Every structure is written in C-alpha cells, then in structure tokens.
Amino acid sequence: MNTFKTGILMTILTILFIFVGQALGGRNGAFFAFFLAAIMNLGTYWFSDKIVLKLYGAHEVTEAEAPKLHRIVRQLSLSANLPMPKIYIMDNDTPNAFATGRNPQHAAVAVTTGLLRILSDEELAGVLGHELTHVKHRDILIGSIAATFAGAISIIASMARWGAIFGMGDDDDSGGNILFVFIFSMIASIAAMLIQLAISRSREYLADEGGAKISGNPLYLASALRKLETASRRIPMKVNPSTAHMFIVNPLRGSGVMKLFSTHPPIEERIARLEAMAYGRR
C-alpha cells in the first residue's frame, strides 16, 4: 500500500510541476528550473554519502574495531541479499542511525555511539535492518527525484514572484497579475513540499516493515524505536535540517501544525504497525 502511495504522490508531484511550470514560468521557465534542480540534486545524490558522513564526523570502522556491529550487519545483508555496506560510527550521545549511498553497491550505514550504548543486539538488528531496507529500496534515489521536482517547483515559483515584482509577468506565457502570481506560487511551493514529505513518510513505513522481516521479529525494531524516541527527547541531536529525513528517528521536534512538515511518521504509529505485524493483525 505504501509503495502504491509513493507512486501516486510522485505522479501528483510530476503533474504539479508541469502545471506550475506552464502557469507561472512558461515552458522555458519550467525547463530551466527543472534542469537547475536536477543538476543540484544529481550532485547531492552522487556525493551524498561523503557529504553527510563528513558532516556528522562519522568514521569508518573495521571488523577488528567493531566486531559485533560487523557481524550483525553481515548477517542482515545476507538475509536481505545485499552487498556488505561500509560501516561508520558517529561519536554522539544521541542514539540514532542512517543509511546513505547512491545504490546497494555504494552504500554505507552509520550509527551513533549513543545507539550502540543503549540497544540490545536484537534491537540493534531491527534498526540496522530498517537502514538496509532503505538501501535495498533505493530510497536515496527516490528521495532525490522527489527533491528535484519539489526544488524545481520552488525555483519556478521564486522566478515568478521576482518577475511579478519587477513587472516581467505581463505576457501571456508567464502568469497573470501580481496577486495571482504571489498566491499561486506560495500555494504551489507548500504543496510540493508537503508531497515530498509525504513520500518520505511512506518510505519510512516501508523501511520499518522491511527491517522487521530482515531482522526476523518486528518487536525488535518496535522496542528500539521506543528507546530511541525517549532518549532523543532527553539528549537532542544537533543536525542540519536538510539531512533530518535520513535518520531512523527524526532529530527535529515539532508539535501542532508543524507535524505536517515532519519527514517521519509518528513513532506511536510506527510502533503500532510493527506490533500488528508481530501479532498477525495485518
């Protein structure tokens, strides 16, 4: 169901891009914005592993340095029929983890020292299974495509607003009067962002499900998520907002309407789904 939902959201994002491009930027503006966003996100996709690992001071560990971690990842990789990824550790007391890399052959899994400290072997397997599922599903690629379309829509909207301010929006190919341009461009930008976030949340549910299957028991990951959520509230993690979606537990906090802009589904809902899997209610 979540795979179908992701496909629908990607289709809506594509249609929105075409519509907004024609309405606000004209055909040429739409193509220019898409090209610019694609180049930016292609670079991010190609070098994302190096960028984010360096950003959080992650260092690669050998099997001699982290034998238990290597053993668990190797077992899970075999279970998931994936190549063995590189393994990194971040010196951070907040328990969290993420996976990165442009494909399964160039993947890396990173965990914090805080995560290794508080989780049992079974809970650690649940978390690592979740991250390996992201690798298997090529979620970095899907996220990059979604970001390309959302970024292009934002660029077009910004171009249209500046064009309206400086009186460049009067011809038939650009987009109507200044009030229409401002209102429509703002709505389009927010809609694109919400769709992008909804795609991210759908991929998290899929990774939870896949991680539960790879690790062998949904309750491993459910228990880990409880611990991670509690600990991350007690020890907040300083992160770049642009990378928050990569972590297994959202390091950024929001309440009320701000939850609409969360890259992750509610922890309670994720745990409920995992427990339903374990007890055969799904």
Continuous segment of H or E residues that includes residue 100? strand 97-100
How long a stretch of residues is the chain? 282
What is the C-alpha to C-alpha distance for residues 102 and 82, in angstroms, rounded to an integer?
A: 14
The Cα 124–Cα 110 span in angstroms is 12
Instruction: Give me the sign of the Cα torsion angle 168, 172, 174, 180.
Output: positive
By C-alpha distance, which of 192, 258, 228 is closest to 120?
Answer: 228
Quote the radius of gyration of the chain (alpha carbons, Å).
21
Catalytic residues: 131
The amino acid at 11: T
Under 8 Å between Cβ of 217 and 123: no
3-class secondary structure, 265: coil
**20: its two tokens:** 């907004």
Residue 151, C-beta contacts closer than 8 angstroms, at least 6 positions apart: 37, 40, 41
- For 119-177, where are the alpha helices, taking DSSP H only? 121-136, 139-165
Q: Which residues pair with 98 in a beta bridge?
A: 110, 247
Residue with tokens 């642009």: 242
